[in-house]
Amino acid sequence: KASKEVKEKFKNLKKLNKEQLLAVEHEDGPLLVVAGAGTGKTTVLINRLAYLVLEKGVKTDEIFLATFTEKAASEMIERADKILPYGYVELWINTFHSFGEKILRESGLEIGLSPDFKLLDETAQWVFVKKNFKEFNLDYYAPAGNPNKFIKELLKHFSRLKDENITPDEYSDYCSKLSDDDKDEAEILENKKLRELSQAFSVYNKLLLENDYLDFAYLINYTIKLLKTRPNILKKYQEKFKYLMLDEFQDTNFSQYELIKILAGDKANLMVVGDDDQSI
């Protein structure tokens, strides 16, 4: 049961039902909260944030709350401001992309990234690929006529690879092991297609880095790379974030979940909230 002192500190606890209160008061270790639309998932997250700060004495910048849209993050920050007493600052309520950007601008130099990198949105990516189209040296996928639609589909393929945290080197390594021996024409063409896609992915990545560009998906991939290859940086952020919370868990892709697991570490003080009815 919630202590009398906590209820006096923030009255919102009185409005929570039994299940919501159990989630809010959960402290150490992993917790999965499954709830449908309109059942107060965001209320639980914000109240737990306040509970950890006001009752347990956790600093606001020691809690990372991840969500999926800038609109959702802004709404959570607004609600947190209302429930926390005046003077609490440095809330880490971010989308995965804004979190990755913040980390890479601060520590990306550790893996050779310029802290002044420019972010490319979907339109800028398309323009960038079209401008450098000859660099891709395509044969199997050489577009007939106008390449505009083709570029969009190529970028979709790259995006899917990044969502699965597949690096250009991993893709190339996989394709280098493909053999055309004892294969029929269809299988040989399929191998050619994959090799060409792998080469295009490598070229795209190389061009971005040469121009100090990143796209939004790479914000997550390079944050993962930073934390995996620089244990000193990983230790810094694992010690910093004592508690992690994740909204809309059913929407996470492999890369996003990988990032959260790395940050959670062995302590695994991670609470995720999701709706299984909305899961694909």
* Successive 10-residue mean pLDDT values, the chain, 280 residues: 53 80 92 89 92 91 93 90 76 94 96 95 94 88 71 93 96 94 90 93 96 96 97 96 94 95 95 85
CA angle, residues 93, 55, 233, in degrees to nearest 5: 45
Contacts of 248 (CB under 8 A, 6+ apart): 67, 68, 72, 273, 274, 275
CA distances from 133 to 4, 76, 89, 130, 138 (A): 66, 42, 46, 5, 9
Q: What is the longest distance spanned by two Cα atoms in the chain?
A: 76
- The pTM score is 0.89
E-strand ranges in 126-246 read 213-215, 243-246
* Buried b or exposed e, range 61-93, using 16+ CB within 10 angstroms: ebbbbbbbeeeebeebeebbeebbeeebeebbb
CB 113 within 8 A of CB 101: no
3-state SS class at 228: helix
